[in-house]
Structure 1
Amino acid sequence: MDKRTELIITEINKLLQIGNGLVQYGKSNGSDTADEKVQELTKWTNLSGELIFKLYPNKSSQYNSHFQHYRAKMEMTRLHSNNYQPLLELMGVLEAIKYELESGLINKLKTLIQADIFSDFLEMGEHLLKEGYKDASAVIIGSVLEDTLRKIAQENNIEILNDKGKFLTMDPLNIAIEKIGIYNQLVKKQITSWADLRNNAAHGRFSEYDDKQVAMMLQFVQTFSADYLK
């Protein structure tokens, strides 16, 4: 689990702790809600909503939808023994998100989305190659390979930026990934070869490779992405 995820879980735990305190207050309160509790509940609701939206920017996501639904049921100035259930429901949303974070489901979902994006670009590269645009195809396929290496590095806590804060190129990423045993030297050599082809395409050295090599590169990247982007 990376540090960012740990920080988010810590924040959720804090919100759940505050929420539990508010629930206990609501259960025992038989009259109007104290001003400080109204303020605390308002703050808690806003912080929880903001956290959920940051994790799930799509407003139509189930967690955003559920949160807004339960939030609408809550009367902010009337937290008492007959009206604390919506708060429990809101806390249930946070508990579900916490579970996803702890089990890695959010990261797995993002990986699946990333894989779909890569697949779309590879299809584009394949189409360009079939239409006779081998150079544009090589650049796109090479970019997918580079992004795949970057994703693998991130999943294995390998630095992806250099000292100047810029993304590392394929060669240092390839070396670092092979060094920790994610794949063997044969795969490393293949990646080096395809990185050279992509660089030739990107720098206008179009006579250094042909259509067949680009087709082989496409096949390699398709297999490599499927095998290592998990």
Structure 2
Amino acid sequence: MTDAAVAPHHQHMANISLLSRRFADLTEQLAAVEATKAYSDSGYTRGYRVDSEAYTNWKTKARHLLATACGQNSVHFKDFVDKEQGGGYSTSHEDLLQVRAVFNAAKEDFDGGYLNSVRSMVQAEVFSTELDQANELMKGGYIVAAAVIAGVVLETTMRRLCEDAGIEPGSLNKMNADLTKAGIYNLLVNKRITALADIRNNAAHGHPNKFTKDDVVDMIAKVEAFVADHV
């Protein structure tokens, strides 16, 4: 079970890095669209045009990415939708430059971590999926693996709280002490985390006789509550 238990450790940021990679891919695709630019003086406007099919294809994908990464109520998304309509007398290449500016601003903000509400949302979804996985493992009788996964979610959440508060992340117990000292949560939560850290450490170090199935069921519920309160 060890591989399955350890895998989620690397998954918690997967959605975010997936979106970052998508931003990078679409930046390259837009450069390819721009490379199709050719001068034209037909119709009402003179100037450079780009391949309209490739451009439309790119805009559709970019709009979807901004909706996912920034949210449909974000300034980035609304600005993108506005700019992609194009101006009455502008050429497609001029429109592309406007749209590209909005897209690049969104990419910078996302990669720079400024869209935290979205990052939190993505993270909360990933966490609940992992805790569901822990529950499934419990039902299958894989109690140690379930405890390890719940522990990873707990540790990742605390690491994130430390980063947000400018605290150097460390071991679970060190982060617990530092977060309490910084007033991020109270002593009652601190004690709860100490108990959870104990189960997690015993699970990770192969001492299944030091906790019971009920302890792990309780642990998953408490980690879920902690994530809900703090992510």
TM-score class, shorter: 0.5 to 0.7
Matched, 1:125 2:130: no
Are residues 125 and 227 of structure 1, via their aligned partners in 2, closer, same or farther at CA, if it must alter by over 3 Å? same
Are residues 219 and 89 of structure 1, via their aligned partners in 2, closer, same or farther at CA, if it must alter by over 3 Å? closer
Are residues 103 and 74 of structure 1, via their aligned partners in 2, closer, same or farther at CA, if it must alter by over 3 Å? farther
How far residue 104 of structure 1 moved from its aligned partner, in angstroms, is 3.1
Identity %: 32
The corresponding residue for 1:89 is 99
Equivalent pair of 1:71/1:90 in contact (CA under 8 Å): no
The corresponding residue for 1:58 is 22
Are residues 55 and 217 of structure 1, via their aligned partners in 2, closer, same or farther at CA, if it must alter by over 3 Å? closer
- Cα distance in 2, alignment partners of residues 128 and 193 from structure 1: 21
- Cα distance in 2, alignment partners of residues 224 and 178 from structure 1: 14
TM-score normalized with structure 2 length: 0.60
- Cα distance in 2, alignment partners of residues 198 and 103 from structure 1: 29
Q: How does 1:173-188 map to 2 (within 5 A)?
A: 173-188=175-190
Equivalent pair of 2:173/2:194 in contact (CA under 8 Å): yes
Are residues 143 and 101 of structure 1, via their aligned partners in 2, closer, same or farther at CA, if it must alter by over 3 Å? closer
Are residues 88 and 74 of structure 1, via their aligned partners in 2, closer, same or farther at CA, if it must alter by over 3 Å? farther
Unaligned stretches of 5+ in structure 1? Answer: 1-52, 161-167
- Cα distance in 2, alignment partners of residues 217 and 118 from structure 1: 14
Aligned length, in residue pairs? 164
- Cα distance in 2, alignment partners of residues 193 and 143 from structure 1: 15
The corresponding residue for 2:203 is 201
- Cα distance in 1, alignment partners of residues 30 and 144 from structure 2: 48
The one-letter code matched in structure 1 to 2:101 is M
For 1:58, what is the secondary structure of its paired residue?
Answer: helix
The corresponding residue for 2:168 is 159
Residues 121-177 of structure 1, C-alpha deviations (whole Å, 9 max, x = no match): 2111111112222112111111111111111111222112xxxxxxx2101111111
Of 190, 193, 206, the residue aligned with 1:191 is 193
Of 149, 165, 189, the residue aligned with 2:158 is 149
- Cα distance in 1, alignment partners of residues 113 and 176 from structure 2: 28
Residues 91-132 of structure 1, C-alpha deviations (whole Å, 9 max, x = no match): 232344466689932x32222222222222211111111222
- Of residues 63-72 and 131-140 in structure 1, the stretch that sits farther from structure 2 once superposed is 63-72
For 1:57, what is the secondary structure of its paired residue?
Answer: helix
Unaligned stretches of 5+ in structure 2? Answer: 1-16, 40-45, 49-92
- Cα distance in 1, alignment partners of residues 35 and 188 from structure 2: 58
How far residue 190 of structure 1 moved from its aligned partner, in angstroms, is 0.4
TM-score normalized with structure 1 length: 0.60
- Cα distance in 2, alignment partners of residues 155 and 187 from structure 1: 18
- Cα distance in 2, alignment partners of residues 140 and 102 from structure 1: 28
Equivalent pair of 2:23/2:107 in contact (CA under 8 Å): no
The corresponding residue for 2:225 is 223
Equivalent pair of 1:67/1:93 in contact (CA under 8 Å): no
Q: What value does the CA root-mean-square deviation take over the aligned residues?
A: 3.2
